[in-house]
Every structure is written in structure tokens, then in C-alpha cells.
Structure 1
Amino acid sequence: MTVSRAAETDPLSDLKGARYAELQQMYEGLQAQFERGQLSEAELHAAFGVFWRPDPALNEPLNAWVQSYPESYEAYTALGHWLLSRAWAMRGDEPVSRVTDLGWRGTLHFLEQADTCARHAVNLARNPLTAWLLIGRARNLAGCQMTLEDVQEQRYPEWFSRPLAKNPRSLELRQLMLDHLRPEWGGSDEHMFAFVRQQEAGGQLGAGDIHRLWADYHARVSHHALHFLNDLGEGVSRAHLAADMYEPHSEYLFVALTRAVAPDAERQGALERYLHAAEQNPALRPQSTFYWALYNSDRFLEPLLPRVALLLSRWAASGTWAAAVALGRLTLLNRQWQLPDPLPLLRRARDEGSREAAETIVYLQEEGLGLRAALTDSRTKRTDVLHAAELSSPEMCWRVYQNFAPYREQFSLDARQRYRYLLRAADTGHNDARYELAQQLRAGNLEVGEDGVLRPVNTQPLQQSLDYARHLLERAAAEDHPGALQALRTARDTDWKADTARRLRPHNLLDRLGGWRKKS
């Protein structure tokens, strides 16, 4: 059965227009259809999926919907989707070791709220499958705690076992558990294999769903082999199996062949398979690794550009902002390609909180006018840079910090805000900023207050400052930053204790660029 009411209206427009009664009626109807068996779990998931959009502007109207209908399963579930999308956006796609300090704090903050929201929602409906799926996704972010024996003995967490009792033929629940058991999240290949075998033997799923579950298993093994084990042969082999079992998984094959630097003809063939699948299924969306593979396919991409550009534009228009960024980056990759103008889509993405879109707008402006533009400052460029900095772009925060005077003048900034951009650049993973801040803390030029605000001082460094400085240097050194490596090599044990630390005297950018300092 099709979701006619949801298809005819735009839930986000209703939400932003404060039409909460219409939203409530629509989603109550969809949930009721699902509970009567008239709507599939996939259709219901797609209907709530419109709220999986990490736009900060949705916070207020979603909470207003909850306040207007405090016993609404639908309102809490929609809010839970938004909160979890925010957690995932803060987490990003980097390996755990490269998630920034700000990223971890934001992830944990939104993860806790999403989990609380979804757990409240499960008590508000007869069959709260969608809310249980949210809890499962939140647990995936937190990591798998199950042993192989737990899987073999079917000792599953309640977010899986309770909704499965009411939805014994649910493929989505099983796909979520398969994700939970992935090696990179604390499970293993053996965990996943045992689980799929168990589901096959259980007889609850039809042959088509079992076939899909095996395809998903091979796709996840391929991903882990490629990106965590660097086993290109296994990655390609498993990706072939996944794609042959489920055509949309040709995305994994395209990525695997690109990682393995396979012949162009093979890579192009895999890409064409995925493009065909995506053209046939408007709901299909690629993973972040797909975009990476696109950027590394310039030798054979040109004949496929019309199809690629059409899909990217369609995905971006529906709110997949990674696709807008991909369109911008492909434009940067080759200015001779006749691609749609990415700026309107990028601006929409930036306005909805996409840091990557904001950065790409700056890079497009610089690349579009050549080297002189990249080196020349302007009011328009500073506006775009500050937009990106406010969205916590490490590079753009660092630019504002380094060249603060014109930003201060143009935007009437307080002098102390300069240090805010330094802290944010360091907090979001810019290694030059980490090094700069660490050395300024060790010099007693700056300190972080109890409120988390960076302040200029002129005093012997505090223990808290030294601890934070060491943390920053260690994170930068882990990514081979030369200055951080040198600073850690030359530091003595006594340099990390407030009563014995040598106060550094680094070249002081703060004074030279117009900072101010209070006397202690």
C-alpha cells in the first residue's frame, strides 16, 4: 500500500509552518495503518525518515510538536529521528580515532537525548517498531557489547527481542542487528555469520529477505576488509558476491574496485550498475565512500556525467546534502565538465547546517577565480568563511583566527571572539590550531575557564591548562603533526606539572594580531 497522505503533503513544510494538528493526524494515520497490517515497515520508516535531517532549525518546531501533543508517539518518534541524525552528523564518517573532541561531545549529547526520547515513545503505541529501531541505531553508535556466545544462544538486547516478538518477519530489525554485530563496532565476522545463519534456520523470513540478508552480510564484510584490514582481495571478492545477490550493492563493488585500483573498465561497469539501480529506485542513497570513489574516477567519468549529475541533483534536492557537496567537489575536480551549478544546492545545505557545504562554497569561490582569489581577501569571501566557521569548520575557524582583524571590523566582533575560533579550530581537529593552542596554554598566555571559554592571561600555566595542552599535542602527534611531535619529544615530565612546568615563550601571534591580555 502506498503512503498517499505523506506523498501528497510535505511534512517538513507542515512542521516549519507550525501545522502540528495536520502532522499529528497524518502520522497517527500512518501508524494506525501499520498496526493494522496495511502499511509495510519500509513505508513507515520512509515516512518518518523525512525527520532524519540534522538541520538545527528543526529543533524548535519538533519540540513544539511534542509540547502540543505530549502523549504523541508520533511526535516523540519524529523528534528522536532528528536527535539521532544530529548525533550521527556530529560523529561523522571518520574512524573512531579521528573523531574530534567536539564531535565526541556532540555525539554523546544528542545520543543520550535520542535514546531517552525513543524509550519514552515505546510506551505510547501498541507496536512502536520505529521507536525501537531508533534505540537500536543509538546502541550501534555506542558500540556492540555482545559476545559470540550471546549470538549463538540468542541472548539479544531488548531493543531487538521485544519488537521482534511483535514483528517476527521484520527485515529491518534483522538488518539493524547485523549492523550492530559489525567488527568495527565491537562484533566480528563470526558474529554476523552466526546471526544470518540463525535467521535462515529460524524460518521466519521469506527466501527473498534471507537472500537480501546474506547480501548485506557480504557487503559489510567487504567494507571491513577494505577500510579496516586493508585486505583488497577479500574486499573485492565479497563486494562481487554482495552485488550479484542484490544489485544496489554494486555501490560496494564500485568502491572496492576503486580502492584496489582495478582496470577502468571494471570500475566503470560497477558504477553503471549502481547508477541503473539508483535510477530505478528513487529511495536509494549511497554511502559516503561512494562519493570518494567518484572523485577518484575522473579518467572514465565524463561519459557518465549526465546520469551522475542528475542523480546527485535529485538526492541533494531531497535533503541529502552530501550529494550537493559531491556536485561541488566534482566541479572543483574539473572545471571543463558541464555540470549543474552546485551553488544553490550548497547554499540550501549550508543554511540547514552542513559544514561541508559551507566549506565547498568557499573553495568554489577561490577556485573559480584562480590563484589570485585564493590568496586575496574580500568582504564576500569573508562572509562565506565566517558562515563555515560558525558551522565549526576547522579550516575556516583557523582562517578567522589567523586573520582576525578584518573579520572583527566587518562583523563587529569582540576581540575575545578570536580565541573562540582558535578553540573551535582545535576542538574540531585542525592540527595547526591544536599545536598553537597547546603552546599558548603552556606559555600561560591563555587558559580555559570553568565555562569552557578561552581567555587571555599572563600567568604560570594551570594544571588544567597543561593537561589540555598535552591532550591537544598527543592528538595532533597521532596524525603526524611535526610541531606536536617535536614538542612532545622535547618536553620533560616536569613540564606537565603546574608547580614545576617551564613557562614557554612562543612567538606570540595574539599580541601581533591585536589580541588583548589581562594581567593576573
Structure 2
Amino acid sequence: MNDAAPAPLSLLRSGHIGQLHTFLNGRQGQFEAGEIGERDLLSAFQPFDSSDLTLAEGFRSWLSEHPDAYAPHVAMAAWFLGRGWEARGHMTSNLVSDQGWRALQHFLAQADAFAHRATTLTANPLVAATILGRVSGTRGCDLTLDDVQRQAYPEWFTRGVHDNPGSYTLRRLMLLNLRAEWGGSEEHMLTFVRQQQEARLLSDMDVQRLWAEFHSHVSHHALHFANDPVLGVERARLAADLHPAQSEQLFIALSHARAVTAERLEALRRFLTAAEQDDTITPHGNFAWALHNSGDWALPETPRIGALLTRAAGAGDPDAAVMLGRLQLTHPNWRLPDALPLLKAARDQGHTEAAETIVYLRGLVTHPTESDAAQKRDDILQAANLMSGEMSWEVYRQYDDYERQFALEPRQKYRYLHRAADAGDNDARLELAQQLRAGNVELGEDDVLRPVDTAPLQGSLDYAKHLLERAAGSGHAASGKVLKKTSDRDWQAATARRPALRPMSHVPAPARSGFRLSWWHWLAGIAVVRLIASLFGHQW
């Protein structure tokens, strides 16, 4: 999209539906007439790949005015997909909460429906095909190696390539879908890339980029799933040599392998240069991890790092704002740009991690006043209302303070406990499980947690056991101990004993300093490793 083009999200928020519709219809028409290419078309629709909750009213108006038009359907499909990933979170699948899985499936169904409808509303629905490809990839690869060898690909890909024989984006999405960690394999990917090379429909440059993507995916799997840093570095080098943007993966791989500083710095510089030359390049989450694990040897590059993250956040990538904020926490001496304005903008759009990061940054205040404490509670409550499990637990355990400051109702306390447990906070899972077993609360058919004083229902016991098993399965020792102490009779309503617990309204806040997020555990781990490395004379 050129500099003179309007900002689609601004038009949507401000209610300028006609101007927005004309612009996107024009772009689609230009693409189908061969006047612009794939990149310009995708750039026009890219802003809708967002989890911004403030867009809902604009979408309703747009769809009401143009119920049978391509543009609003494909834009909403992208938005639903973005909301699904925001609800799921970017952790590995074993750490996704029940709430996260439910929300993801709900939004994937919406994205799938709107994208499929969009494919019937224009001659060449390339953007809709890319969204269907991303939905498919999120659900996991269901293609066997035999399917790939026979080129028995799904319709979103076959029709998309038929209509757009030279599309690199469609090939890139299919390659993503074939990754080993999503149900495919290296052989799946290798077979696919060779097919694309032999078909001679892509330019030589795009074939080279596709090979670079292939080696990068193999590197990622070697590092994060196969515990093979040597292979990870080897394949990342191949990827970076084929395409400079893959220097990001090389930087990540070298960081995993604890490579010497000079190599890591060179890879970092190569990636920053590539990103400066192509403003469509944005950093990934593992890039942030590698930066967090970098030492002050990266200081000369911090202005470029700050510029990259600020550019990405300003262009609508809330994850970049989170990266910037968390780097300020781990590397305060890097003097990066202030992340708070970008984080607040992301929070206003409904981004949970941005809201959480604001709370962490508030913790840097060395001598907080009562006003600072009140502001921090406000930030915590905003994050809790964006479904943060950790912050919902903080509201629950210090509910008296929140009730006074925000005039909350007593019954709302239980909502925050349920939200915290459902979102995956293990302390909250244990607390809720024990309260359910004690008959102090029960979950109604409307999914609302209510205080009671009665023998636990079978449904309450089943849910309590599920909560404890999820917590214990993710390493929560206290939940594991409770499970070991119980017998089969404790999980049957007819024979269950009610644990002697105090009512929820009298449960004291557990003694602990600060937040117990996995984020903080992770930072502590980094600090320990840094200390050990320095003791043994290794460069970090």
C-alpha cells in the first residue's frame, strides 16, 4: 500500500465505511485487472489481521451496508483469526488454557465461515484463500506424506494457485502447514518445495526464498522440539545465506547454541539491515527471546532494535510493543524507546499481554506512593478484564482493595477466581478446585461461579479434578500433592468428603512478593544462567 493510501482501521473506527469500501474494492479490482500484484493487494488487507476489540462496531456497520460484498467478509475473517490467536496466546499447546482453546475454536469457526463466504463473492479471492490457509495451519496438518507426493492439496491451495500461478504467499502458507510440529514432517516440506521448483511457476528468487523458509523451519524444529542446536545452527546458516531476512533465525539458533558473541552480533546486524531494507519484515517472538538472552555486547545495535520494534508496533503489531516493554524490563540500560504509549494503545485494542506488560513496568517504581498503588490496581484490573489469568488471580486474592477502589460487587470476586483458573493460573486452579470440593461454590449451567454451602455436586467434583490435573500436569507441585492424597471416593458425590476449608470470603492472600508469572520465572532463569555463565568465563 503506498503512502497516499488511507489507513483502513482508522476509516473503520471513525465510521467512514464508504471511503473504506471504495478503497478496498478498488484494490481488489486493480488486482483482478492485473494492475497491481499480490504484495500490494495483501498489504491493503493486512491491517485487519488484528485482535483490536474496538473494531467490532465498525464491522457491524460495514457488513450491514454491504452484506454481499467481498471486502467486509474477508476483512472480518482476518479479524476473527487475529482474535483467535490473541485468545489462545503464543505459548506451546500444552500450556494453552481451557479458556484459550474454547475461544480459539470459536474464532477459527468464524474466520473459516467468513473466508469461505468471501470466496464466492469475487473472481479471484486470493486474500480469502490465504486466510483459509492460516486457519488450516492453526488446526494442524492433516495431510499424509502420500497426499503431498500425489499433490492432493486442499481447495484453498489448489484453487488459489490455479487463479494465481505465481503466488509465493500461497506456497509459503502451505509450507508452514507442513511443518513437523504441526503434524507434517521434514519430508513433507522437502517434497513440497521440490514440487514447486520443478513446476517452474515461481520466479527464481521466490524459489530461493522458499528453500530458505524450508531450512528455517527445520532449524526451528531442531532447536525447540528435537533439542539439536547443532542442526539448528547448520540449517539456519543455509536459510540466511539464501535469504537475508532469515538471519533472524540464525541469530536465534546461535543464541540457543551459546555461540560466541561475534557470530551472534553479526547475525543480529544482518537481520536488522534486512528489516531496514524491507518494511514488511517484522520480528518474531523467538527474536525477542534471543534479545533477552543477549548481553551488553548488543548495546551498539539498540537504536536499530528500538527503531524496528517501534516501527512494527506503530504499524499495528501489538506483539512488538510487548517485546519492547519486556526488553525494558530485562535490559534497562539499553535505553530503548518508551514502550508505555505503544502498550497502552495495544491494551485499548484488547491485547492482554500488553496490559500485563504495563503492570510489570509499573513494578519498576522504586518508592511507590498510594497514588502509584492505586494506578497499579487500575492497570491490574484492566488486564484482568482482558482475561489475564494472572491478573484475575491478583484481583481475587486482594479483592477487598479492588472492591473499595472500584466499587465492585462482592459476587464479582468469584468471577475473577473462575477467570483466573480457566485462563490457566495454577494457584487459582488449586484454589477453585478445593472450594468446589468443599461445597463453598458451584458452577451453574450459565457458567457463572456462585457461592453456596452444600455437598458438592458431581459436576463440581469432575471440574475440580480436571483443574487439579491440568495444574499438576504443568508442574504445579501443590496440586499434585492434593491429587495423591485423594482416592476414588473423594471424586464421587455420594461418598466425597468436604475438605475443611475456610469460606472463600476469608481466604487470606498468600504471602509472596510480586507476581508469580511464568514470565518472571523465565527472567529468573535467565539471571541464573547469566550468573553461571559469568562464573565460568563464558560470554553471554
**TM-score, length-normalised on structure 1?**
0.95
Residue 376 of structure 1 and its aligned partner are, at CA, apart by: 10
Change (3 A) 1:451 1:377: farther
Q: Deviations over 1:211-234 (max 9, x none)?
A: 111111011111111111111111
2:484 pairs, out of 489, 496, 499, with 489
Residue 143 of structure 1 and its aligned partner are, at CA, apart by: 1.1
Gaps of 5+ in 1: 515-520
Residue 147 of structure 1 and its aligned partner are, at CA, apart by: 0.5
Residue 180 of structure 1 and its aligned partner are, at CA, apart by: 0.8
Change (3 A) 1:333 1:468: same
Determine if contact 1:324/1:357 at 8 Å carries over to the other structure.
yes
- Runs (4+) of structure 1 exceeding 6 A deviation are none
Residue 327 of structure 1 and its aligned partner are, at CA, apart by: 1.7
Residue of structure 1 equivalent to 2:70: 73
Residue 507 of structure 1 and its aligned partner are, at CA, apart by: 4.2
Q: Structure 1 vs Structure 2: percent identity of aligned residues? A: 50
Tell me, yes or no, if structure 1 residue 171 matches structure 2 residue 168.
yes
Residue 204 of structure 1 and its aligned partner are, at CA, apart by: 1.5
1:511 pairs, out of 498, 506, 510, with 506
Matched residue type, 1:204: L
CA distance in 1 between partners of 2:504 and 2:257 (Å):
45
CA distance in 1 between partners of 2:257 and 2:136 (Å):
32
Residue of structure 2 equivalent to 1:281: 278
Residue of structure 1 equivalent to 2:219: 222
Q: In the TM superposition, what are the counterparts of 1:387-398 in structure 2 within 5 Å?
A: 387-398=382-393
Residue 7 of structure 1 and its aligned partner are, at CA, apart by: 3.8
SS of alignment partner, residue 319 of structure 1? coil
Matched residue type, 2:428: A
Residue of structure 1 equivalent to 2:290: 293
Tell me, yes or no, if structure 1 residue 351 matches structure 2 residue 348.
yes
Tell me, yes or no, if structure 1 residue 405 matches structure 2 residue 394.
no
SS of alignment partner, residue 363 of structure 2? helix
Determine if contact 1:359/1:385 at 8 Å carries over to the other structure.
yes
CA distance in 2 between partners of 1:163 and 1:124 (Å):
14
Query: Structure 1 residues 337-346 or 82-91, which shifts more?
Result: 337-346
**TM-score, length-normalised on structure 2?**
0.92
CA distance in 2 between partners of 1:404 and 1:420 (Å):
11
Query: Structure 1 residues 201-210 or 131-140, which shifts more?
Result: 201-210
Residue of structure 1 equivalent to 2:409: 414
Tell me, yes or no, if structure 1 residue 439 matches structure 2 residue 423.
no
Residue of structure 2 equivalent to 1:131: 128
SS of alignment partner, residue 336 of structure 1? helix
Task: Name the structure, 1 or 2, with higher relative contact order (CA <8 Å, separation 6+).
Answer: 2
Determine if contact 1:405/1:513 at 8 Å carries over to the other structure.
no
Query: Structure 1 residues 398-407 or 260-269, which shifts more?
Result: 260-269
Query: Structure 1 residues 502-511 or 150-159, which shifts more?
Result: 502-511
Residue of structure 2 equivalent to 1:14: 11
Residue of structure 2 equivalent to 1:209: 206
Residue of structure 2 equivalent to 1:316: 313
Determine if contact 1:404/1:513 at 8 Å carries over to the other structure.
no
Residue of structure 2 equivalent to 1:379: 374
CA distance in 2 between partners of 1:446 and 1:263 (Å):
56
CA distance in 2 between partners of 1:500 and 1:513 (Å):
29
Residue 387 of structure 1 and its aligned partner are, at CA, apart by: 0.9
Residue 301 of structure 1 and its aligned partner are, at CA, apart by: 1.9
SS of alignment partner, residue 62 of structure 2? helix
Q: Deviations over 1:34-76 (max 9, x none)?
A: 1111111121111100111101111221121111111110111
Residue of structure 2 equivalent to 1:518: none
CA distance in 2 between partners of 1:88 and 1:300 (Å):
34
SS of alignment partner, residue 368 of structure 1? coil
CA distance in 2 between partners of 1:231 and 1:382 (Å):
44
Residue of structure 1 equivalent to 2:180: 183
Q: Deviations over 1:251-302 (max 9, x none)?
A: 1011111111111111111111111111111111111111111111133221
Residue of structure 2 equivalent to 1:424: 419
SS of alignment partner, residue 405 of structure 1? helix
Determine if contact 1:346/1:357 at 8 Å carries over to the other structure.
yes
SS of alignment partner, residue 340 of structure 1? coil
Aligned residue pairs total 509
SS of alignment partner, residue 360 of structure 1? helix
SS of alignment partner, residue 8 of structure 1? coil
Determine if contact 2:283/2:320 at 8 Å carries over to the other structure.
no
Q: In the TM superposition, what are the counterparts of 1:361-376 in structure 2 within 5 Å?
A: 361-369=358-366
Residue of structure 2 equivalent to 1:517: none
Determine if contact 1:359/1:396 at 8 Å carries over to the other structure.
yes
Determine if contact 1:136/1:159 at 8 Å carries over to the other structure.
yes
1:256 pairs, out of 250, 253, 256, with 253
Residue of structure 2 equivalent to 1:463: 458
CA distance in 2 between partners of 1:108 and 1:450 (Å):
21
SS of alignment partner, residue 434 of structure 2? helix
Q: In the TM superposition, what are the counterparts of 1:7-156 in structure 2 within 5 Å?
A: 7-156=4-153
CA distance in 1 between partners of 2:365 and 2:306 (Å):
19
Residue of structure 2 equivalent to 1:199: 196
Matched residue type, 2:147: D
Determine if contact 2:440/2:504 at 8 Å carries over to the other structure.
no
Tell me, yes or no, if structure 1 residue 500 matches structure 2 residue 528.
no
Residue of structure 2 equivalent to 1:306: 303
RMSD between superposed Cα atoms in Å: 1.6
CA distance in 2 between partners of 1:272 and 1:496 (Å):
58
Residue 378 of structure 1 and its aligned partner are, at CA, apart by: 2.3
Residue 156 of structure 1 and its aligned partner are, at CA, apart by: 0.9
Residue 512 of structure 1 and its aligned partner are, at CA, apart by: 4.6
CA distance in 2 between partners of 1:223 and 1:124 (Å):
38
Q: Deviations over 1:437-468 (max 9, x none)?
A: 11111111111111111111111111111111
